[in-house]
């Protein structure tokens, strides 16, 4: 069933240059879009938004560590290793399950959704496109992406439930950032007068 689903999605590739390029762009660059979004939200956001950004980024890193542990326990060959298919981009023949790109994208989106739904929803849509693009490009099976979603949900939920433990660290990081940039903005103002 996993391979049949994979074929139904991956077989859509190779028919439209524009769609293939879009999927390659998403599969290669979505992680940078997530990073840029978090950076913008950090720079221009309130203290509450900065907390959400730190939690989203930290939860994403933790979810990727979980992926590494899963890959040590269970190795799933990538579709292009097991089957005679053409990928849209080259990739190492490492473990396919779960998808790291999808896990990172889903985790950031879900972690942000727990704190700011209006931001989490568009990020989740981009995460869905990221997972879909990984299948389209021939790099992952659909269950790899579903596995990524499950990892993202579980890790995000656990971190939300344990956030009281992490709040002091998060607040400390924000206070250091604020003290550095408050000082520099004060010194800029005093040098102008």
Kindly report the number of other CB atoms within 10 A of residue 184's CB atom.
Answer: 10
Sign of the torsion formed by the C-alpha atoms of 133, 90, 103 and 7: positive
157, 164, 185, 193 from 179: Cα distances, Å: 31, 23, 10, 21
The 8-class DSSP code of residue 138 comes to: T
One digit per residue, the tens of pLDDT, for the chain of length 193 reads: 889 999 999 999 999 999 999 999 999 999 999 999 999 999 999 999 999 999 999 999 999 999 999 999 999 999 999 998 989 998 988 899 999 999 999 999 999 999 999 999 999 999 999 999 999 999 999 999 999 999 999 999 999 999 999 999 999 999 999 898 875 555 555 555 5
Residue pair 30/101 in contact (Cβ under 8 Å)? The answer is yes
CATH 3.40.50.2300 holds for 2-175: no
Indicate the pTM of the whole model: 0.89
């Amino acid at each position: 069933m996993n391979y049949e689903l994979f074929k139904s999605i991956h077989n859509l590739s190779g028919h439209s240059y524009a769609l293939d390029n879009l999927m390659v762009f998403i599969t290669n660059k979505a992680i940078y879009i997530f990073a840029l979004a978090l950076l913008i939200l950090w720079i221009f956001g309130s203290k509450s938004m900065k907390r959400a950004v730190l939690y989203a980024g930290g939860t994403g890193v933790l979810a990727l560590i979980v992926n590494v542990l899963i890959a040590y326990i269970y190795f799933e060959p990538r579709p292009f290793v097991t089957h005679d298919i053409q990928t849209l981009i080259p990739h190492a023949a490492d473990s396919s399950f779960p998808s790291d790109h999808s896990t990172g994208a889903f985790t950031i989106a879900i972690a942000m959704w727990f704190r700011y739904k209006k931001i989490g929803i568009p990020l989740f849509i981009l995460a869905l496109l990221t997972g879909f693009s990984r299948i389209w490009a021939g790099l992952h099976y659909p269950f790899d992406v579903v596995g990524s979603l499950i990892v993202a949900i579980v890790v995000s939920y656990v971190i939300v439930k344990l956030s009281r433990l992490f709040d002091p660290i998060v607040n400390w990081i924000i206070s250091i950032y604020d003290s550095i940039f408050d000082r520099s903005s004060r010194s800029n103002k005093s040098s102008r007068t």
